Amino acid sequence: MRILLLSADYPPLVGGVADYTDRLAHALAGLGHEVSVLTSARATQAAAAPAGSASVQVIATVPSWGPAALLAIAQQVQAQAPQVVALQYVPTMYGRGGIAPGIALLPALLRRHTPARVVVTLHEVAVSWRLGPRRAAQATAQYAQMLALALGSHRVLVTNHRYARIVQRWTRARVTPQVLPVGANILPAGGDDPARSAVRQQLGIGEGPLLGSMSALGVGDQPAHLLTVLQRLPQARLVLLGGLPEHGARWSEVEALARRAGVVERVGRTGYWPPAALSRALATLDLFVHARDVGASTRSTALAAALAHALPIVAYRGIETSDLFADGENILLAPAGDARALAARAAQALASPALRARLRAGARRLYERHFSWERIAQQFLDVAA
C-alpha cells in the first residue's frame, strides 16, 4: 500500500509529533508498505533512519500550511498517488495560536481531488475554555477546525478516549473516532549497559531509591507534586529526565520550590540528552512517577517510554486514564491531584520488591500489546485500509 503522511513537523525539527510521524513512517515501511512523508520545507535535513529499518521518502517542500497553499499541497499529494493520506494534527503546528483554517479544510479538498482514503490523527483537539476574549477566540477557532477535520476525513484517529468523546459530541455522533495510543519517544538502547553506579554518578544522584519522571516540565505536568512525593520519602532521590530548551525557565521555578521544601540536594535534572543516554537513565530508575494532571494517558510518550523500559510506574487516575491501566497489575494509581496519595503509592512500591516485579511484568505486557510501534502501525492499517 502507498501511504503518504502529512505533518508540519518532522525531524530534524524537534517535537512530539515530529518524532511520532518519523517512527510511525518507519514502522509502516517495516511492514512492507511504500511510505512517504510530506512536510515543511524547513525540515530540510533528512532524519537518520533507525538502524535496520525500511526506507521512507521524505518530501520537505511545503513552504506554508495556510489557506493560500492548499491547492499546491493537494497537487503534491496528487503527484504521489497515495492510496492513504494521513494528516497529523496539532493546532499550533499549523497556525499562530493554533488558529489554522487552511489545514482544517485540507481533508475535504483532498477527498475532492484524489481517490485516496483520508485519515486524520488528532493528537490534540483544542485549548480548554477559559475566561478572557483571547482564550475564548482560540478555543472557538480550534474546535471549529476539529469539526471540519473530522467531518472532512474518511477516518478519524485520536490518542485517548476523552478526545474520542469530544469528537463524537461535537459531530453529534456522525463521526466515531478510533483510539490509537502513542508510542515511546525513547526506546530501550541496545548494546552493553554501563553499571548502575556509573549512570547514577553521571546523573549527579547519590545513593537511595531512585525516582524519575520524564519531560516533567511541560504543559499539564505538575513538578510540585513530584517534590511532595520526595518530601514524604526521605531516603529517595528524584531525577527529571529529558525536556525541551524552553523548559529552562520553569526549571528555575521548580529548583526554588525544591530549595524551600528542603529537598533540592535530592533532585537532579538532565535537560536534553541523546535517546540512548536517556534510555540508560530510565533503566536505572527504581520507580517512574507520572504526575500529569490528566492522569495516566494513552497520549503520553513519556509514559509509553516507561512502559517500553518495563518500569514500575505510579501515576494519577485522571480524566484520560482508560481501562488499559490496571491498578496493581501494570501500574499503581492515586486519585487525581492528590500528591500525598501519590507518595503513598510510591512508598508502597518501594517497600515491596515483589510488587515492583509484578508491575514490571505488567508494564512489559501492556507495552507489547498496545504501545509498541509495530502494534501501533498495525492498528493504523486496520483503520486506514
85-100 pLDDT, tens digit per residue, is 999 999 999 998 889 9
Span 285-324, pLDDT tens digits: 999 999 998 999 999 999 999 999 999 999 999 999 999 9
81 C-beta neighbours (distance < 10 Å), count: 11
How many angstroms separate the CA atoms of 181 and 216, rounded?
Answer: 19
Q: What is the pTM of this model?
A: 0.91
pLDDT over 70 for what percent of the chain? 93
Q: Which 8-state DSSP code applies to residue 371? A: I
Q: Is the confidence at residue 193, as pLDDT, over 80?
A: no
How far apart (Å, rounded) are the C-alpha atoms in residues 380 and 121? 10
Q: Is the pLDDT of residue 50 over 90?
A: no
pLDDT exceeds cutoff 70 at 130: no
Indicate the range of 185-194, 237-246, 347-356 predicted with least confidence: 185-194
- 335: which strand partners? 317
> Which residues are CB-contacts of 197 (< 8 A; sequence separation ≥ 6)?
none
Cell readout for 122 is: 488528532
Map residue 350 onto helix, strand or coil: helix
Strand pairing of 117-122 and 287-290? unpaired
In whole angstroms, what is the distance from residue 158 CA to residue 178 CA? 6
Three-class DSSP category at 181: coil
Grid coordinates representing 126 are: 483544542
Reported as a pLDDT band with limits 50, 70 and 90, residue 46 is low
Grid-cell match 541523546, residue found:
274
Model confidence at 201, in pLDDT bands (50, 70, 90)? Answer: confident
Closest CA relative to residue 280, chosen from 200, 205, 346: 200
Separation between Cα atoms, residue 8 and residue 341, nearest integer Å: 40
35: nearest Cα among 7, 8, 14? 7
Domains along the chain with CATH numbers: 2-180 (3.40.50.2000), 196-371 (3.40.50.2000)
Supply the DSSP string of 73-87, one letter for each residue: HHHHHHHH--SEEEE
CB-based contact 178:205 (threshold 8 Å): no
Query: What mean pLDDT, rounded, does the chain reach?
Result: 91
